[in-house]
Amino acid sequence: MRLYVDNSKCSGCNACRVACSLNLFGENNPKKAALVIEPQFPAPGVYNVKVCTQCGDCAAVCPTEAIKQDEQGAYYVDFAECNLCEACVPECPEEVMFIRSKLADTAWKCDLCGDCVAVCGTSALWIAEKEAVAA
């Protein structure tokens, strides 16, 4: 399973990012979210959304094995075991592996909790089996 996005449906509202930070950290803080919305305004007037594909490249390079897989196949960061070495960040092809040491003493990423999907009013986000592109 993985998270999918249809950029053309995103309205840039950021509800997903607040829901994400609440799930990951129990905080209202979209700067600690695991997905990115890049507004491209005034032209061409679209949002570019980056989400985790659960490819596992981050886990493969993690020297402390802090990035683990849960029963549904989602990779998540075990905060207690992350040592902020940053090896994972450049490996992420989607640029959604995060370290902001001023904000948290751990790396973080999408754990496929689905809260972003629950709050997305325009159905731009959904979770499906890998390779199944349509919602």
Partner 1 sequence: MNGYGGRILRVNLTNGTVTKEPTPPDVARDFIGGRGFGIYFLLKEVPKGADPLGPENKLIISSGPISGLMIPGGGKCDWTTKAPLTGGYASASMGGHFTAEMRYAGLDSIVLEGISPKPVYLFIDDDKIELRDASDLWGKATFAVEKQFKEKLGEEFQVAVIGVGGENLVPYACINHDYGRQAGRGGVGAVMGSKKVKAIVVHGTKSIPVADMDAYRKAGMALYKACKDSEGLKDWTRYGTTIVVSWCDEVGALPTRNFSAGSFEDGKNLYGPVMREKIVITDKGCFGCPSPCGKYSRNKKYNSYVEGPEYETIGLMGSNLGIDDIEAVAQANLLCDDLGIDTISAGNVIGWAMECYEKGIFTKKDTGGLDLKFGNVEATFTLIDKIAHREGFGALLAEGVKRASKKVGKGSEKFAIHVKGMEQSAYATHNATAMLLAYMTCDVGAHHNRAWAITYDLQVGREKVVPEKVARVIWLQNFRPMFDVLGGCRLQWVELGIDRDLYVPALEAITGIHRSWEDLDKVGERLWNLTRLFWARENEGFGRAWDMPSPRFYEEAPKSGATKGQITKIEDVNRLLDMYYEQRGWTSDGLPKPETIESLGLKAVVA
Window 91-120: residues binding partner 1 (CB under 8 A):
100, 102-103, 115, 118-120
Total residues belonging to the chain = 135
Q: Nearest distance from residue 59's CB to partner 1, in Å?
A: 27
Q: Does 18 bind partner 1 (CB under 8 A)?
A: yes
Contact pattern from residue 27 through residue 56 relative to partner 1, giving x for each residue in contact according to CB under 8 A and a dash for the rest? xxxxxx-----xx-xxxxxxx---------
Q: Does 63 bind partner 1 (CB under 8 A)?
A: no
Q: What sections of 48-100 are H helices per DSSP?
A: 57-61, 88-91
Q: Nearest distance from residue 106's CB to partner 1, in Å?
A: 15
Q: What is the rounded CA–CA span in Å between residue 93 and residue 76? A: 16
The DSSP letter of residue 105 is S
Which of helix, strand or coil describes residue 83?
coil
CB nearer partner 1, residue 67 or residue 120? 120
